[in-house]
């Protein structure tokens, strides 16, 4: 029997997550945007309860969570949505060479539209040196995008230090935390990020559902939507909510946080055995 070792690519759905999702396929199948009948009300209640739990898991407010189809869409919404909302003369973007394609490709697409994009190298440990970033930031820089944990190497970037630099220079910071959630603490207040991307299927949740944290306080960030057609999610992401996925996402994230200390110790022990073999 083959041994599955590609957990950074995707994870199986936890049976407890599936159990939480199943009622959404039968009795609670309504459209959460249908506000005129009990089926819609029930679906909306499930989605909003899950939104609150996901927000609490990362130290955010409920209204700061925008549901998407996954981290790729969340990254695109963050990068393209903010870049296109920036005032003239502030459209320069800075990112890192080891980012996921879901960050690098949107940046490349914006470069083709005329946005100045700088891609910085990492140091010998795979980290972005804050000093190198400081040298790259200019009065024109409006957006920086740096992941929290790398999907290939596991390197953790000094995001809080990077955020301090961005605040000092007046640039917004987006962080792809897809690989970090459930493995290390992710708190948007401690990290001081302006936007943060998440995906359910990396934490034993379902595929096809993700979220973007968008800071809505002091000051409130404005994004230009990349999907039009109904104005869902406070006008930032049109489309019928994937209520089963949202419910599963919230349950998966809860389980991941509950088990994170024990799971971290287990994985560290396995790593040590592998290195010593």
Q: What is the reported pLDDT for 235?
A: 85
**Which pLDDT score is estimated for 277?**
81
SS3 of residue 230 by DSSP: coil
Q: Is residue 264 part of a domain?
A: no
Count how many domains the chain has: 1
Is residue 273 in some structural domain? no
Position 263 scores a pLDDT of: 93
| pLDDT of res. 46 | 97
pLDDT at 220: 82
Distance, in Å, from the CA atom of 92 to the CA atom of 119, rounded to the nearest integer, reads 11
pLDDT at site 165: 97
User: Which pLDDT value is given to residue 238?
Assistant: 92
- Asked if residue 195 is part of any domain, the answer here is yes
User: Is 152 among the domain residues?
Assistant: yes
Question: Residue 214 domain-assigned?
Answer: yes
Judged by DSSP in three states, 116 sits in: coil
SS3 57: helix
| Helix (H), strand (E) at residue 273 | helix 243-276
The confidence score (pLDDT) of residue 231 equals 86
Residue 34's pLDDT is what? 92
- Domain of residue 164, CATH code: 3.40.640.10
With respect to residue 223, please indicate whether it lies within any of the assigned structural domains.
Answer: yes
Q: How far is CA 57 from CA 16, 126, 187, in A?
A: 18, 28, 8
Task: For the full predicted model, state whether its pTM sits above 0.85.
Answer: yes
pLDDT at 219: 76
The whole-angstrom separation of Cα 204 and Cα 45 is: 23
Beta strand 210-214 pairing with 65-68: antiparallel
Q: Give the three-class secondary structure for 90.
A: coil
In a domain, residue 218? The reply is yes
Kind and range of the H or E element at 197?
A: strand 195-199
Q: Is residue 203 part of a domain?
A: yes
What residues in the chain have per-residue pLDDT under 50? Answer: none
Owning domain of residue 157: 58-240
Helical residues (DSSP H) of 143-204, grouped into ranges = 159-169, 188-191
The pLDDT score that the predictor gives to residue 230 is 86
Give the Cα separation of 102 and 185 in Å (integer).
Answer: 22
Nearest-angstrom CA–CA distance, 179 and 196? 12
**Amino acid 4: pLDDT:** 95
- Which residues contact residue 5 at a Cβ distance below 8 angstroms, ignoring those fewer than 6 apart? none
């Amino acid at each position: 029997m083959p041994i599955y070792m590609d957990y950074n690519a995707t994870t199986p759905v936890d049976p407890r997550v599936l159990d939480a999702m199943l009622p959404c396929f039968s009795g609670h199948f309504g459209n959460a945007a249908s506000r005129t009948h009990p089926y819609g009300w029930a679906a909306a209640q499930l989605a909003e309860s899950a939104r609150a739990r996901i927000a609490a898991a990362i130290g955010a407010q409920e209204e700061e969570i925008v549901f998407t189809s996954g981290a790729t869409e969340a990254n695109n919404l963050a990068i393209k949505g903010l870049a296109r909302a920036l005032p003239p003369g502030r459209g320069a973007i800075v990112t890192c060479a080891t980012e996921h394609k879901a960050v690098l490709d949107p940046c490349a697409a914006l470069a083709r539209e005329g946005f100045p994009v700088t891609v910085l190298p990492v140091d010998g440990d795979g980290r972005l040196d804050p000093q190198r970033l400081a040298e790259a930031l200019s009065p024109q820089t409006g957006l920086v995008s740096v992941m929290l944990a790398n999907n290939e190497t596991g390197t953790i970037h000094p995001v809080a230090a990077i955020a301090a630099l961005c605040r000092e220079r007046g640039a917004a910071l987006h962080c792809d935390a897809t690989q970090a959630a459930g493995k290390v603490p992710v708190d948007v207040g401690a990290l001081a990020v302006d936007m943060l991307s998440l995906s359910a299927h990396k934490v034993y949740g379902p595929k096809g559902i993700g979220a973007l944290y968008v800071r809505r306080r002091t000051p409130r960030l404005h994004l230009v939507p990349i999907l039009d057609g109904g104005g869902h999610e406070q006008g930032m992401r049109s489309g019928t909510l994937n209520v089963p996925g949202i419910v599963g996402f919230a349950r998966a994230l809860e389980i991941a946080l509950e088990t994170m200390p024990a799971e971290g110790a287990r994985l560290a022990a396995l790593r040590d055995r592998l290195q010593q073999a």
